[in-house]
Amino acid sequence: MNEKQLKEIPGMFDGNIYRLLTRLSLPILTGMVVKLLYNITDTFFISLIDKNDPSYIGGTGMVFPLLFFAISLASGIMTGVGSVVARAIGEKNHVSLNKAADSAFALGMFLSLLILGTGLLFAKPLVSMLGAQGAYFERGLVYFKYMVPFAALMVALHAVAGIFQGEGKMKRIMTAMMIGTVVNVILDPIFIFVLKWEVRGAALASVAGQLIAFIYVLVSIGAKDNIVQIKWSVKDISFKLMGEIIVIGFPMALGQMAMAISMVLFNHILI
């Protein structure tokens, strides 16, 4: 990262502010719509497995608060990474920029492995905590176990995507979300009905979509036109930057996690 590269970021330091805001916000809005479509797709296909058995849609729906915790964490991390990168660009702080990518990736991978290990080891007590019983518990447990890798990949993906957010390259984040959704839409009916994997198939389709989207952001971060790149070097990992990412992103993550807690309480009231 050098002075010349910083000046090559189009529209970040000059030009029409309203045009810049539009360029940065529209991909975010599109990405949110795409993410909503992602959830609707899974719900739609799962509901078709057996229209006379509500445990399919009910069981998978009950574990959503657990997945929402991961979604909240991913959003918080992306916000933190984006803030650190954007601030370093504004300050023309080459040292922070050179370490931002590796620090973000390392933090994302650590949290992903933590989610993966915790989710798989404590799957039964976590699903049971939600109040699921009988067939609802069985459907929810199967779905959750196979969705844990999805949650882990999502956190890792958002950590890297935060770099694009800091650079103002929101279209790449939108593209990653669209890739994950399109793959999920294509694979859902194949995995659920053709291969007869039912709720497991819905989860695996989501995992496949997220994996391909993650590969896309890793390839994109290494592109020559990208300002901040991962050097894959331990010496470029900064615990100070990791701490800043967590401090900035934690309030947002906590706010969204409160919604997940309210969902759990609501489930218990209904049960």
Q: What is the pLDDT of residue 142?
A: 97
The residues spanned by each domain of the chain are: 3-11+24-50+65-270
Q: What whole-number distance in Å separates Cα of residue 164 and Cα of residue 103?
A: 14
Range in 10-14, 51-55, 78-82 with the lowest mean pLDDT: 10-14
> Would the pLDDT of 12 be above 60?
no
Enumerate residues 6+ apart whose C-beta is below 8 A from 187. 204, 205, 208, 209
Report residue 104 as tokens. Answer: 């973000």
Enumerate residues 6+ apart whose C-beta is below 8 A from 242. 103, 106, 107
Tally: H helices and E strands in the chain? 10, 0
Q: What whole-number distance in Å separates Cα of residue 82 and Cα of residue 100?
A: 10
> Would the pLDDT of 271 be above 90?
no
pTM assigned to the model: 0.88
* Mean per-residue pLDDT over the chain, rounded: 87
User: What is the share, in percent, of the chain residues with pLDDT greater than 70?
Assistant: 90
pLDDT band at 36 (very low <50, low <70, confident <90, very high): confident
pLDDT band at 27 (very low <50, low <70, confident <90, very high): low
Encode pLDDT of 141-189 as tens digits: 999 999 999 999 999 999 999 999 888 888 898 899 889 999 999 999 9
Q: What whole-number distance in Å separates Cα of residue 101 and Cα of residue 230?
A: 5
> Would the pLDDT of 15 be above 80?
no
User: What is the share, in percent, of the chain residues with pLDDT greater than 90?
Assistant: 55
Encode pLDDT of 182-215 as tens digits: 999 999 999 999 999 999 999 999 999 999 999 9
Q: What is the pLDDT of residue 133?
A: 87
Q: What is the pLDDT of residue 23?
A: 66
> Would the pLDDT of 246 be above 50?
yes
Q: What is the pLDDT of residue 5?
A: 53
Report residue 248 as tokens. Answer: 């900035």
Enumerate residues 6+ apart whose C-beta is below 8 A from 208. 183, 184, 187
> Would the pLDDT of 2 be above 60?
no
> Would the pLDDT of 10 be above 60?
no
Q: What is the DSSP letter of 195?
A: S
| Count of residues in the chain | 271
DSSP string, 30-62: HHHHHHHHHHHHHHHHHHTT-TT-THHHHHHHH
Q: What whole-number distance in Å separates Cα of residue 234 and Cα of residue 154?
A: 23
